[in-house]
Amino acid sequence: MSPTWHSPDPPPPAPPRGPVGWARIVLRGGLVGGVTFGGLALLLLVRLLERPLCGLRRPVTPWITVGVCRVALRGLGLRLRTTGAALRGRGAMVANHVSWLDIYVLNAQAPLYFVSKAEVAGWPGIGWLARATGTVFVTRTARDAAAQALLLEARLRAGHRLLLFPEGTSTDGLRVLPFKPTLFAAFYRDGLPALLQVQPVSLRYHAPPDADPRFHGWWGDMDFATHLLTILAAPGGGSVDVTFHPPLRVADHPDRKALAAACTTAVRDGHARAAS
Domain boundaries, the chain: 78-223+234-273
- How many helical (H) and strand (E) elements, i.e. helices and strands, does the chain have? 7, 8
Give the largest Cα separation in the chain, rounded: 59
Tell me which DSSP letter residue 60 carries.
S
pLDDT number for residue 140? 67
pLDDT number for residue 142? 67
Q: Over the range 99-120, which residues count as b (16 or more CB within 10 Å of their CB) and which as e?
A: bbbbbbbbbbbbbbbbbbeeeb
Tell me which DSSP letter residue 72 carries.
H
**10-residue averages of pLDDT along the chain (276 residues):** 77 89 96 93 93 86 94 94 92 96 94 87 76 82 73 86 94 96 89 94 95 95 92 93 97 97 98 91
Question: What global pTM score does this model have?
Answer: 0.92
Tell me which DSSP letter residue 143 carries.
G
